[in-house]
């Protein structure tokens, strides 16, 4: 029984995989990562998070220490991250990263995570002193999250040239 989907001969995974440069450019232009952790009852806990990218394509963010994702990562320091874009099939692109997660608790380092986030999301504008002060005030209540990818899968359906 056909469901109306085209029959594909073999995998086209190699055709749609992003290069490291394409992945960096994609992550640079996107704004939100979905973070999935294992909840207290074993179900996925999925939430959006702001992020910054470092030179090795590791992502970093911060969250309240009392948040569910922080509690989940204390119990099991693994997460799966997802960033995607596109509406139509031939526009879809994204990345899925399975990660080990380091939770940073040192207040000064956590403040550094916060400053880096606000610098990225201010779109290059210099941070106002009151924003820096707000980050410093929030840092003791937060933890930094460093996502260390152990497996990365990317896709960019635009590379198929409009073919389903």
The dihedral through the CA atoms of 117, 121, 127, 128 has a sign that is negative
Domains and CATH numbers, the chain: 14-39+72-160 (2.30.110.10)
Confidence class of residue 12 from pLDDT cuts 50, 70 and 90? confident
User: What pTM was estimated for this model as a whole?
Assistant: 0.88
Lowest average pLDDT, out of 13-17, 56-60, 121-125, 144-148, goes to: 121-125
User: First vs last Cα of the chain: how many Å apart?
Assistant: 19
Q: How far apart are CA 125 and CA 16, in angstroms?
A: 35
> Mind listing the pLDDT tens digit for each residue in 52-109?
999 899 999 999 999 999 999 999 999 999 999 999 999 999 999 999 999 999 999 9
Confidence class of residue 10 from pLDDT cuts 50, 70 and 90? low
User: Average pLDDT in the 18-27 region?
Assistant: 96
Mean pLDDT of the chain: 91
């Amino acid at each position: 029984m056909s469901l109306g989907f085209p029959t594909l001969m073999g995998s086209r995974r190699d055709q749609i995989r992003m290069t490291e440069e394409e992945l960096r450019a994609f992550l640079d232009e996107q704004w939100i990562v979905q973070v999935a952790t294992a909840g207290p009852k074993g179900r996925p806990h999925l939430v959006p998070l702001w992020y910054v990218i470092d030179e090795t394509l590791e992502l970093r963010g911060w969250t309240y220490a009392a948040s569910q994702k922080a509690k989940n990562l204390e119990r099991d320091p693994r997460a799966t991250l997802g960033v995607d874009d596109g509406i139509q099939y031939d526009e879809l692109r994204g990345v899925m990263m399975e990660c080990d997660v380091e939770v940073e608790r040192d207040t000064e380092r956590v403040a550094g995570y916060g400053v880096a986030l606000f610098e990225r999301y201010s779109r290059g504008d210099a941070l106002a002193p009151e924003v820096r002060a707000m980050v410093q005030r929030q840092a003791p209540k937060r933890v930094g999250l460093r996502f260390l990818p152990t497996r990365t899968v990317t896709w960019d359906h635009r590379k198929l040239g409009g073919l389903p």
